[in-house]
Homo-oligomer: A and B are copies of this chain.
């Protein structure tokens, strides 16, 4: 750690003046009267805002909201219901900055944007950086998009339209077009002078891109390297040549994995001919990582977008689809049970025990599937190690199957008959092994077929584990002569 300097020689007359208080006290953001210990807005605070909104006391609302950080204003809007959101936005118009808009949940933002006039949206769009502006309008109807873009300045409009020309969730759509690119021939000192002269630089950047005369990236300089290097050193002697270049059509998930793998803060985006056209920065990436990693649990459970701010009709339509598919797979299981109807009539214990075999098999399959889906998503399970992992999961399944078989076998033997204990134990081992294999192979196969393993695997794995559970148990019961 660099020790602070306490040398009085460094005293600068500037700081003799009282420091300008340009914001709330640092400690305000945590442990204040508005936030709980996990930095969420307190219910009591929300109640006061709601109360003031109901009374129509705009002044009180403004005073309550004014000290909040833009990200917290976005949170506040998300926590309110639809009606209160509109009322709040009206009461705090000048606090509804582009930062608040950029931080809003997609559904809430879309909802609020649809309620505004195109001119009002255009004013917001112009304040935003390209990537945030694109995010704001990309989900609106084409007609609304055109109406808004018509109100935006030509230069901004061109940038937004060029971003919208790229497919959703690709680097071209998400990248920021504002970046600092300089030619190879500069020294550190010339670069600093150049930066000081510029008026229209991005407000924050973390890296300087060095380009050749064709505007192809040849290296990058972290700002810290520039700040710690004497003025007369050439940029080419400071910069790193080995950089990660992101082709403009790369999917966001891929971009996020590159940032994680190579610990990037920002990276150059290049077009088909290798020209530098934009940059991705890590602050955008953290949202993508969180979204992509969190998505798996929602997709695997069939909860679609799974956002609590999603309109109810959308939540219904994405979830019911999966429930109907599940109805189909449950029917397959029912057919198998129906085929053994006579056996069940003779020995009702079969009906009592059969859900256990199916349920535990289902769980074993879900465990393996979750592991496989995460490993595929993080590029850990690839063609290069598939069989090693299948073998690994098979061994885990054998251990799990043996353990559960012993427990359920002994219990069943004691309550019913020893033979039924043997039958259920065997069925259990078979089903857990089948589930383990299905849990890893089904996602792997979907991945090979270029399908998202998280979306489609559950239906198939559930069908396999349910059907196999009933079939193995009832089939073994008949085959063993328990019922004849």
Contact = CB atoms under 8 A, between A and B. Distances in A.
A355 B466 contact: yes
6 contacts: A19-B236, A19-B241, A79-B384, A327-B360, A330-B359, A330-B360
Majority DSSP secondary structure for residues of A touching B:
helix
A181 interface: yes
Nearest to A263: B283
A10 B312 contact: no
B323 A404 contact: yes
A363 B458 CA distance: 10
Contacts of A283: 263-265, 282
Interface stretch (A54-62, A135-143, A334-342): A334-342
A113 interface: no
A396 B26 contact: no
Interface in A14-41: 14-15, 19-30, 38-41
Interface stretch (A86-94, A116-124, A144-152, A242-250): A242-250
Given A196-B230, A303-B370, A363-B322, A380 B289 contact: no
Contacts of A384: 40-43, 45-46, 79
Contacts of A15: 184-185, 234-236
A261 B222 CA distance: 24
B355 A355 contact: yes
Interface string A341-383: 1001100100111111011100110111111111101111111
A349 to B, nearest CB: 8
Nearest to A71: B261
Contact of A257 (B3, B39, B355, B470): B39
B69 A262 contact: yes
A23 B379 contact: no
A306 interface: yes
A200 B407 CA distance: 61
A413 interface: no
Contacts of A367: 301-303, 306, 319, 322-323
A227 interface: yes
A404 B372 CA distance: 30
A289 B290 CA distance: 6
Interface stretch (A163-171, A187-195, A475-483): A187-195
A290 B470 CA distance: 38
Contacts of A329: 359
A40 B379 contact: yes
A308 B260 contact: no
A95 to B, nearest CB: 15
Given A183-B4, A326-B359, A345-B348, A382 B41 contact: yes
Of the four ranges (under 10, 10 to 19, 20 to 34, 35 or more), the interface on chain A belongs to 35 or more
A131 interface: no
B294 A286 contact: no
A364 B323 contact: yes
The 9 closest A-B pairs by CB, nearest first: A23-B242, A14-B234, A293-B293, A297-B297, A301-B370, A223-B223, A351-B351, A303-B367, A293-B294
A204 to B, nearest CB: 5
Interface string A257-296: 1111111110000000010001000110111011001101
Nearest to A190: B10
A1 interface: yes
A469 to B, nearest CB: 9
Given A42-B384, A201-B228, A367-B303, A290 B237 contact: no
A242 to B, nearest CB: 3
B348 A22 contact: no
Nearest to A80: B385
A100 interface: no
Contacts of A351: 337, 341, 344, 351, 354
A211 B379 contact: no
A315 B213 CA distance: 55
A242 B359 contact: no
A448 interface: no
Contacts of A43: 382-384
Contacts of A484: none
Contact of A245 (B1, B30, B38): B30
Contacts of A323: 360, 363-364, 367, 400, 403-404, 432
